[in-house]
Structure 1
Amino acid sequence: MTLLSIEHLTKAFDGVQAVDAVSFDLEAGQLLALIGPNGAGKSTCFNMINGQLKPSSGAIRLNGRDIAGMRPRDIWRLGVGRTFQIAATFNSMTVLENVQMALLSHERRVFSFFGRVASWKQDEALALLDLVGMAAHAQRSCAVLAYGDVKRVELAIALANSPKLLLMDEPTAGMAPQERNALMALTAQLAKERDIGVLFTEHSMDVVFSHADKLIVLARGKLIAQGDADTVRRDPRVREVYLGTGASFAPRAVLSADLSAGESA
């Protein structure tokens, strides 16, 4: 079942096409990786889907409903969760309180937080923390957590609105290889069990090739390839972008190394 349908999505800044007529679909329960070099338009695409940017043209359909131009909080309440490249939690609060805040927001009860709220939705928050392996840390301050654990808390927060669609912007950035693969394996498991569509960006090609069901590749705002890992890995345009025969794309050595690592995996 098609969950998210992107149709000719375009965003221009002062005449520069950051995203240029991009179209793709995401199925429920599927992990779809959005990859490309720096400046390809990945974050712009994410920010339009999430409501932080209004498209210049095109449609963003969630279960058939066009959500293009809606406010982020309204899109959140329709069942779209998001994690960010730099994990964002309230360091002055406990792990449990961070998840409770997300549950309060989803039910439009943020201002009730200043009342008697310590036990409000506690069981539900603990259940979400248990899903991501963080229930034992519920009473710890987020300020003292290792970065990999903060990423898991952020995932629990993103699940607080029982999302149909989960947007993950470089979910494994700053994590060690073992932590990266553990987090994405957990995400894949949750996606299948809960029928969540996951769209994620990622620079680590070992993560992409190991966990994505399908890949789409952007370069200079245009979609240049899509398909499964083998199809994309062998596409000559993708090799040009990542491996350096096309100077206009300013390939990065780290991306070349990651792509080669993915081929040997």
Structure 2
Amino acid sequence: MSLLQVRDLGKNFGGVRALDGVSFDLPEGQLLALLGPNGAGKSTCFNILNGQYRPDAGSVHFDGREISNARRSMKPRDVWRLGVGRTFQVSATFSSMTVIENVQMALVSRKRKLFSLWRPAAGMYRDEAMELLAQVGMAAQAQRPCGVLAYGDVKRVELAIALANRPRLLLMDEPTAGMAPGERNELMALTRELVVARKLAVLFTEHSMDVVFAFADRMIVLARGRIIAQGDGETIRNHPQVQEVYLGSGTTFGQEAQ
């Protein structure tokens, strides 16, 4: 059984149908790219998966447990505690805090610990935080404020924060947005290593097709809330409807990735 099972998801906003019968599976140990032009429904799908939206139709099962349907959805924090992590297109670190303090705060939240004047959070879980930072290549910058980091390094810190909850499923929304080509490849190569080492399942959205074709095991393409294609890179690249939606007929989709 797949770790994540999405069945017939539907979501409307007024007269706009953002998702229409979306279904897919995601097993552990796999990178799945969710693609589509702006307005295709990618963000709506993500927001349903982590509990921010309730679907109007369909269901989501995680590790055999139904976490969302048209009648009720688990709250984002409860979904997070089950083992669903998320990174965002716009970085969500605390810029005035140090790198290690950002990760420590995530660990405090995971362990449901409270801190006081007698036991400040800065003294808690330092070893575990440093281990996470080492995994993402940021241990040497642990004492620097996040506000002075290069953008690619901030993304690495955000990944360490997401890993603090020991997720089994990681939702990555435009993980390489705003990054230089070399930084994009480094971050996704690191993500690939974590997928293998931790047997993570990763669902990510991405507009950089070179990243998608280099690192995704499978791809799903949405257009106007519906799945129009899914499969490996070669299948998606040569799919006529995908070419039409992205680049117009007669142009090979993903050409820049070759």
Aligning the two structures, in what range does the TM-score lie when normalised by the shorter sequence? over 0.9
Contact 2:106 2:161 in 1 (8 A): yes
- Secondary structure of 2:115's counterpart equals helix
- Deviation readout 1:190-221 (Å, 9 max, x if unpaired): 01110100000000000000000000000000
SS at match of 1:23: strand
Match of 1:224 among 215, 225, 228: 228
Following TM superposition, the consecutive aligned residue runs of length 4 or more in structure 1 with deviations greater than 4 angstroms are none
CA RMSD of aligned residues (A): 1.5
Does the 8 Å contact 2:220/2:227 carry over to 1?
yes
Deviation track 1:38-90 (CA, whole Å, cap 9, x = no partner) reads 00000000000011111111111101111111111111100011000011100
How many Å separate the matches in 1 of 2:253 and 2:193? 24
Q: 1:67 to 1:194 in 2, by over 3 A?
A: same
Q: How does 1:1-265 map to 2 (within 5 A)?
A: 1-68=1-68, 69-109=73-113, 111-112=114-115, 115-245=119-249, 259-262=254-257, 265=258
Structure 1 unmatched ranges of 5 or more: 247-255
Structure 2, unaligned runs of 5 or more: none
Secondary structure (helix, strand or coil) at the match of 1:203 reads: coil
How many percent of aligned residue pairs carry the same amino acid?
Answer: 64
- 1:106/1:234 CA distance change after superposition, 3 Å: same
Cα distance change, pair 259–113 in 1 and its aligned pair in 2 (3 A): farther
Structure 1 CA distance for aligned equivalents of residues 162 and 253 of structure 2: 28
TM-score by length of 1: 0.92
Compute the displacement of 1:106 (Å).
Answer: 1.0
CA distance in 2, matches of 1:257, 1:125: 44
TM-score when normalising by structure 2: 0.95
**1:259 Cα deviation after fit:** 2.4
Distance in 1 (CA, whole Å) between partners of 2:95 and 2:132 is: 19
> How many residues end up aligned between the 2 structures?
253
The separation in 1 between residues aligned to 2:57 and 2:232, in whole angstroms, is: 28
